[in-house]
């Protein structure tokens, strides 16, 4: 069987979901945007309880002089009344697609920008954003 970036992405998603299931939530809810759903478009597919977190994450990127439409998102309920917004930059997706055409499969953070923002439900604000290593 030929290993493709889809297989790798599915494996990473499964590992992420399994790690999320080890927290104190008995059945954490996880929503993943497809490649066609950017941070700007995500509100159309994510449940309403994630909308404020999505808006605040987009605002954070604007303050950082970045373009929210260049980011693809996933979201899940974290511990301590937090929502975790996983961020994948479009440049990493493009880089992975180009490499796959050459038979090369990039794992990890291909854009060097991918990361996670944490939204506090009580404070109603982003409390941290950081890069994945």
Domains of the chain: total: 1
pLDDT at residue number 124: 94
Range of the domain at 67: 5-131
Q: How many Cβ atoms are within 10 Å of 84's Cβ, its own excluded? A: 19
Q: Do the Cβ atoms of 31 and 76 come closer than 8 Å? A: yes
Q: Band of the pLDDT at 95, cuts 50, 70, 90? A: confident
Write the pLDDT tens digit of every residue in 78-93.
888 999 998 888 888 8
User: What single string gives the DSSP state of each residue in 11-33?
Assistant: HHHHHHHHHHHTSS-SS--EEE-
pTM over 0.85: no
Residue 36 has pLDDT above 70, yes or no: no
In the block, which residue shows the tokens 């494996």? 11
pLDDT at residue number 4: 54
Strand order in the sheet with 125-131: 30-32, 71-77, 82-89, 115-120, 125-131
């Amino acid at each position: 069987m030929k290993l493709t970036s889809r297989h790798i992405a599915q494996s990473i998603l499964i590992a992420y979901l399994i790690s999320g299931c080890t927290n104190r939530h008995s059945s954490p809810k996880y929503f993943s945007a497809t490649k066609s759903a950017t941070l700007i478009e995500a509100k159309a597919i994510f449940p309403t309880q994630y909308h404020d977190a999505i808006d605040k994450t987009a605002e954070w990127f604007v303050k950082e002089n970045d373009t929210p439409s260049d980011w693809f998102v996933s979201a899940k309920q974290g511990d301590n009344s937090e929502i975790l917004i996983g961020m994948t930059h479009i440049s990493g997706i493009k880089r992975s697609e180009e490499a796959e055409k050459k038979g090369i499969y990039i794992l990890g953070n291909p854009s060097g920008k991918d990361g996670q923002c944490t939204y506090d439900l009580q404070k109603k604000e982003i409390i941290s954003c950081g890069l994945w290593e």
